[in-house]
Chain A
Amino acid sequence: MPATFDAASLSERKQLQQPQAKAKEDEVEQLTGLPVLLKYAILLMICAMAFLIRLFAVVRYESVIHEFDPYFNFRTTKYLTAEGFLDFLDWFDDRGWYPLGRTIGGTIYPGLMLTAAVLYWLLQALNFTVNIRNVCVFLAPLFAANTAVASYLLTAEVTGRSGAGLLAAAFTAIVPSYISRSVGGSYDNEGVAIFALIATFWLWVRAVNTGSMLWAAAAALGYFYMVAAWGGYVFIINIVPIYTIAMIVGGRYSARLYVAYSTFYALGSLLAMQNVKLPTSRRHALHGCRCRRHQRAVPFVGFNVVRQAECAASHGVFVALQTYALGRYLVAAVDARALRRLLVGAAAALVGAVAAALVALQLAGRVQWTGRSLTLLDPTYASKYIPIIASVSEHQPTTWTSFFFDLHVLVPLAPVGLLLLFRRVTDGALFVLIYGTLSWYFAGVMVRLMLTLAPIACILAAVAMSELLHRYCGAIAYGDAPPPPPQQQQQQQRAAAAGGGAREGGPPGLLNQPLSFVVVAGALATMCLYAFHSTYASSIAYSNPSIVIEQRLRDGGRLIYDDYREAYYWLRHNTAPDAKILSWWDYGYQMSAMSNRTVIVDNNTWNNTHIATVGRALASTEEEAYPILQSLDVDYVLVIFGGVAQFPSDDINKFLWPVRIATGVFGGDMPGENDFMSATGQYDVGEAGSKVLHNCLAYKLSYYRFAELDMGPGRGRGFDLVRNKYIGNKFFELTTLEEAFTSEHWLVRIYRVLPQANLEPAADAPPLPSRTGRANAAPQKKAVYEARYVGCYYSEADFEGREYVGGAYGANLGLIHEHARAFGRRYFATARNDADGHAFVFDAVTSEAAATAGGGCERACADDAAAACGCMDAACSAPKPAAEEHNRRWAVYEVMPPKRKAK
């Protein structure tokens, strides 16, 4: 391979510089014999190292899938291998997002699963009976080895030195940032996507260097794979056009560039349209349900490439490149100065028109930015507008310590590499420069994007290190005055002629042998440090499966908490197969994979409203949460509690996020973030904390009967080990839920939602004797309310002192009734749409006579077919009254005092 990359770096010089620069050609090394063998042997060892350094978790714990998202990927892969590809595409999953469900096939990046499945089928065909779980566990380390090879190829292509390539491969193989996402068991998109990224960039640089359609097509195929694997494909489709523009502006346009970009664009964007799926579903986070209908209209076809603003640059650059190429042809053919001006004007007008059209489309809402991309351009965007994106820890801005921890020695070395490449810019070097600069910015915005920075930082550092070793090892080998290679001689002559002095070779006095030894030894020591640091980071920081929690004891021993799996398996074996389990979304994937039960929300955060509803349930008091739990058919509620096991990221510590996300949707309808703070503005679970916090569902479920537990000498009862506080609300009873299961170290607590009939027994039904045995009784999910139907109104102006509540309240009599009673309002009115509607609570009706019978008022409620809930718009059978803005029929009720109190 390395013997052929010369053609490129040379021919472009041809057009730019004088023929004497041709001497550069000789710089490309020609290896033969033993060095070639040695090179491949080293590369092989690097691959082995890349694989092995990621196996700490497998050796220490077991071959198990880690974290959260990998569990979903694992589950889908199992489905794929069991059911085949077509069924996988058509898969509608009813185990998540109850009651909405989710079309899996159309809303995920299938690249990872397909890779694993193909590998699995291949191994099976070869009679290696490997478990699919093991394929998934070892896939990421395997691809890390591939990435090392890819970065070798890219570096060798750019620098023309296989030494630099090997260094880059070695750096990449063990860079902690990449290890963090690709340890054994971390079965996530990034594992294969980083390989796809680097491979695509290598193919692209090669395409530019050779001007071959074949390499450009290969780059397009690499891009296709990337699109299938990870949302980071946006990175490629923007870097490549930016690079192309930089080449044109920098006067480096060549036929090779034209061929490479045109072919890449034409094939790449067409291929990408075959399977861009996820962005539509991700966009739901912004627009709620509205987009979903739109997505259903075009299943499995990604028009996003056309519609998304992220891809606009590629279209614009394509047009610009065609125009520029045409212009160049004309200038060459006609050679008229006037023409040149004409052409420049025309090109500027064209580019301006395209830009204006894009801006217009953007303003008209025809093209859309995804929230994450906007976060990249404006780092404060997410925290201002989309709490669901801001709440994810990997979307936070990067701190400088994590730069150093994840890149270590690469941080100081990479800028040196940049500098060296600047001094001798070639087409390939320019690409690396642009990639390096941009990814450095992106990495600063989002922690997650450290991952795209890591490979390029390795490459740049390798360029620097290679240059350093090259120079000083040369000095050691040849003594004080190394015989410069022929082209360097020429350069020196030229430089001397220009009066610049012999800077290229460095001041001769500095290159004496002892000093060279010191420098080389220092470089080697630095690299050893880097290797030690990487191993340390891999072992300590990144090999934590997070499904098994490890605690270091004071004597240095390890304590393993296996509570998650204990609880998930309890659910699997002790609950009804169709049980619905509510928890905060973090645990959805694990639960559906390990418990095989239906969950309300999971880690695919596609529906903000649904997540907000769950957040609201957790943030409400037990009584207020109950109707929400009922409306979602919840059978069990699961909370993570770390107060005993000293596990800091439990639901109480995460609790402000559910509150923020819920208030983002429900607004002033529920207690806000400040209501959960103590008088001094602290988030405090102790005595001084807010009463709202002490009575909310998440708090109660976490601390139920906690005060009965003695936490050891000096602490006594009710002492929370994570927050180091005595809890504020110690003794309370649960009325609508009962404890079903608590894991060994209290890490997972599961509660059963009691059926409603027991809460408010009907007057004629005998009250149930006790709580025991109720679990087996079939839940009676009929809404309970004591309200008198007043009449049917068409005008909301008749409701005195009205206060609007919408959403699910407008369709569920139980909910709105509960709401009206909780806020002490006498009347309430609903106009139902489908699953939601409009609703008011108010104090008095101004006119009795305004009622008009019928016309749609009699439409049933969502939760009770026997009661009327009104109608809106087209659902109303009667025409719109002339004075009204909307056609609505309000079913008005008067709240009656609860019967229980009457007894």
Chain B
Amino acid sequence: MTSAGSSVSDIWSKLQSHYWQTTTQQLRVLDSFLAFTALTGVAQVVYCGLVGSFPFNSFLAGIMCSVGVFVLTVSLRLHLAPSGDGVAALRRDSVKNAFAEYVFCNMILFLAVMNFMG
């Protein structure tokens, strides 16, 4: 039990040091935005648990919006991140392209969400 606990805390500290060492300022900003998006999603789930999911389409739209923005941002992050994170780097030459694609996808997402929200 104690060994497992120590290994978890071990892992956590390793992870922290790895993160602060390897992540650039740009990516940290992106990560904070990711955390915020995740929070909005969690808030909606908590609300749903407490109050209920009555206008189901609105609830669904809200959740899908959080999830969608989150995964799109992660995708953007994958485009921007250096290749050291266990996944091969995507096209490094096209940061601008990646950002334009990100904006385009978000436009579609929010259009659909607005329409669905009712």
A binds B: yes
Chain A residues with CB under 8 Å of chain B are 7, 11-12, 14-15, 210-214, 216-217, 220-221, 254-256, 258-259, 262-263, 265-267, 269-271, 273-274, 298, 301, 303, 306, 322, 325, 328-334, 336, 338-339, 342
Residues of A within 8 A of B75 (CB): 213, 258-259, 262-263
Measured between beta carbons, the chain A residues less than 8 angstroms from B98 are 213
Known: A214-B101, A214-B105. A303 touches B60 (CB 8 A): yes
Q: Please tell me if B14 contacts chain A, counting CB pairs below 8 Å.
A: yes
A263 to B76, CA, bound (A): 11
- Across-interface contacts of B64 in A (CB, < 8 A): 266, 269-270, 273
With A214-B104, A338-B7 as contacts: A255 and B112 at CB distance below 8 Å: no
Interface hub of B74, B75, B89 (most chain A Cβ within 10 A): B75
By beta carbon, the residue of chain A nearest B84 is A332
Closest to B8 in A: A342
Partner of B14 from A322, A329, A334, A342 at Cβ < 8 Å? A334
Q: Contacts A303-B56, A330-B15 given: A267-B108 contact, CB under 8 Å?
A: yes
* Cβ distance A680 to chain B, nearest Cβ, rounded Å: 58
Contacts of B78 in A (CB 8 A): 211, 255, 258-259
Q: How far is the CA of A258 from the CA of B108 in the complex (A)?
A: 19
With A217-B101, A303-B60, A333-B18 as known contacts, state yes or no: A266 contacts B11, CB within 8 Å.
no
**Among B8, B22, B68, which residue has its beta carbon within 8 angstroms of that of A270?**
B68
Known: A262-B75, A270-B116, A332-B85. A211 touches B14 (CB 8 A): no
A259 to chain B: closest residue by CB:
B75
Q: Do A322 and B71 touch across chains, with their CB atoms under 8 A apart?
A: yes
Which of chain B's residues have a CB closer than 8 A to the CB of A7? 91
1/0 contact string of B64-96 vs chain A (CB within 8 Å): 100110011011101100001111111100000
Q: Which residues from B are CB-within-8-Å of A325?
A: 74, 87
Nearest CB of B to A637, in Å = 44
* A334 and B11 contact, CB distance less than 8 A: yes
Q: Is B26 an interface residue (CB 8 A)?
A: no
Answer yes or no: B57 CB below 8 A from chain A CBs.
Answer: yes
Contact in complex: B71, A303 (CB < 8 Å): no
B2 within 8 A of A: no
In the complex, B27 has a CB within 8 A of chain A: no
Q: Is the CB of A221 within 8 A of B14?
A: no
With contacts A262-B75, A270-B64 taken as known, whether A331 is within 8 angstroms of B116 at the C-beta atoms is: no
Whether the Cβ atoms of A329 and B90 lie closer than 8 Å is: no
A276 to chain B, nearest CB (A): 12
Chain B residues contacting A331 (CB-CB under 8 Å) are: 86
Contact pattern, B 4-18, Cβ under 8 Å of A = 1, otherwise 0:
000110110011001
- Asked if residues A333 and B15 are in contact (CB atoms below 8 Å), the reply is yes
CA distance A719 to B22 in the complex (A): 91
Tell me which residues across on chain B come within 8 A of A210, comparing CB atoms: 91
Contact A254 B102 (CB under 8 A): no
Interface contact B90-A328, CB-CB below 8 Å: no
Contacting pair A213 B11 (CB below 8 A) = no
Chain B CB within 10 Å — which of A7, A217, A265, A301 has the most? A217
In the assembled complex, which residues on chain B have CB atoms less than 8 Å from the CB atom of A330? 11, 15
Q: On chain B, which size bracket covers the interface?
A: 35 or more
Q: Nearest residue in A to B107 (C-beta to C-beta)?
A: A217
Interface on chain A toward B: helix, strand, loop, or mixed SS? Answer: helix
The answer to whether B68 touches A213, judged by C-beta atoms less than 8 angstroms apart, is: no
Q: Give chain B residues whose Cβ lies under 8 Å from the Cβ of A269.
A: 64
Report A212 CB to chain B, min CB distance, Å.
6
Instruction: Give 24 pairs: A residue, B residue, CB < 8 Å, sorted on A.
Output: A7-B91, A14-B88, A211-B91, A212-B97, A213-B102, A214-B104, A256-B88, A256-B90, A259-B79, A263-B71, A266-B72, A267-B68, A270-B64, A270-B109, A274-B112, A274-B115, A330-B11, A332-B85, A332-B87, A333-B19, A333-B22, A334-B18, A336-B10, A338-B11
**A-B interface contact total, Cβ < 8 Å:** 131
B-side interface residues toward A, CB under 8 Å?
7-8, 10-11, 14-15, 18-19, 22, 56-57, 60-61, 64, 67-68, 71-72, 74-76, 78-79, 84-91, 97-98, 100-102, 104-105, 108-109, 112-113, 115-116, 118
Nearest residue in B to A322 (C-beta to C-beta)? B71
Q: In the complex where A217-B104, A301-B57 touch, is A328 in contact with B116 (Cβ < 8 A)? A: no
- Least Cβ distance of A465 to chain B in Å? 33
Contact at B68–A339, with CB atoms within 8 Å? no
Name the contact of A266 in the complex, choosing from B10, B15, B68, B118 (C-beta under 8 A): B68
A620 to B23, CA, bound (A): 79
| A266 contact set on B, CB distance < 8 A | 64, 67-68, 71-72, 109
Q: A273-B116, A332-B86 given as contacts; is B60 within 8 A of A306 (CB)?
A: yes
Q: Which residues of B contact A221 (CB under 8 A)?
A: 108
Q: In the complex the two chains form, is B19's CB within 8 Å of A213's CB?
A: no
Q: In the assembled complex, how far is the CB of residue B115 from the closest CB belonging to chain A, in whole angstroms?
A: 6
Whether A255 lies near B67 (C-beta < 8 A) is no
Closest to A330 in B: B15
Inter-chain pairs besides A212-B97, A266-B72, A325-B87, 14 sampled, C-beta below 8 Å: A7-B91, A213-B105, A214-B105, A256-B90, A267-B68, A267-B112, A273-B64, A298-B56, A328-B86, A332-B86, A333-B86, A334-B11, A334-B18, A342-B8
B86–A213 touching, CB < 8 Å: no
Q: Which of A265, A306, A338 has the most CB of B within 10 A?
A: A338
In the complex, chain B residues whose CB is within 8 Å of the CB of A303:
56-57, 60
Q: Could you say which residues of chain A place their CB within 8 Å of the CB of B90? A: 211, 255-256, 259
Name A336's closest neighbour in chain B (CB-CB): B11
- Please determine whether B14 and A263 come into contact, CB atoms closer than 8 angstroms: no
The answer to whether B91 and A213 touch across the interface, beta carbons within 8 angstroms, is no
Question: Closest residue of chain A to B100, judged by CB?
Answer: A214
The smallest C-beta distance from B106 to any residue of chain A, in angstroms, reads: 10
Do A262 and B88 contact each other (CB < 8 Å), given the known contacts A334-B11, A334-B14?
no
> How many angstroms from the CA of A265 to the CA of B75 in the assembled complex?
13
Instruction: Report the Cα distance A759→B98, complex, angstroms.
Output: 79
Determine if A273 and B88 form an interchain contact, defined as CB atoms under 8 angstroms apart.
no
Query: How far does the Cβ of A751 sit from chain B's closest Cβ, in whole Å?
Result: 49
Q: Are B108 and A220 in contact (CB under 8 A)?
A: yes
Are A329 and B85 CB-contacts (below 8 A) given A266-B71, A270-B68, A270-B113?
A: yes
A254 to B74, CA, bound (A): 14
Q: How far is the CB of A333 from chain B (nearest CB, A)?
A: 4
Chain A CB within 10 Å, residue with most, of B22, B97, B112: B112
A15-B86 Cα distance, complex, nearest whole Å = 10
A329 touches B72 (CB 8 A): no
Known interface pairs A213-B101, A263-B72; A270-B112 also in contact (CB < 8 Å):
yes
Shortest B49–chain A CB gap in Å is 15
Cβ-closest chain B residue relative to A269: B64
Query: What is the distance, in angstroms, from A719's C-beta to the closest C-beta of chain B?
Result: 63
Closest 9 CB pairs of A and B: A332-B86, A262-B71, A266-B68, A255-B87, A213-B101, A259-B75, A214-B101, A333-B18, A255-B78
Provide the residues of chain A in CB contact with B10, threshold 8 Å.
336
Report yes or no: A273 in contact with B18, Cβ–Cβ below 8 A: no
State the Cβ distance, A68 to closest chain B Cβ, in Å: 34
A220 smallest CB distance to B (angstroms): 7
A338-B10 Cα distance, complex, nearest whole Å:
11
- B56 proximity list for chain A (CB < 8 A): 298, 303
* Interface contact A271-B101, CB-CB below 8 Å: no
Q: Find chain A residues with CB under 8 A from B87 CB.
A: 254-255, 258, 325, 328-329, 332
Distance (Å) between the CB of B61 and the closest chain A CB? 8
Q: Closest CB of chain A to B81's CB: distance in Å?
A: 9
Residue of A nearest to B68 (CB): A266
Q: Which of B67, B85, B88 contacts A254 (CB 8 A)?
A: B88
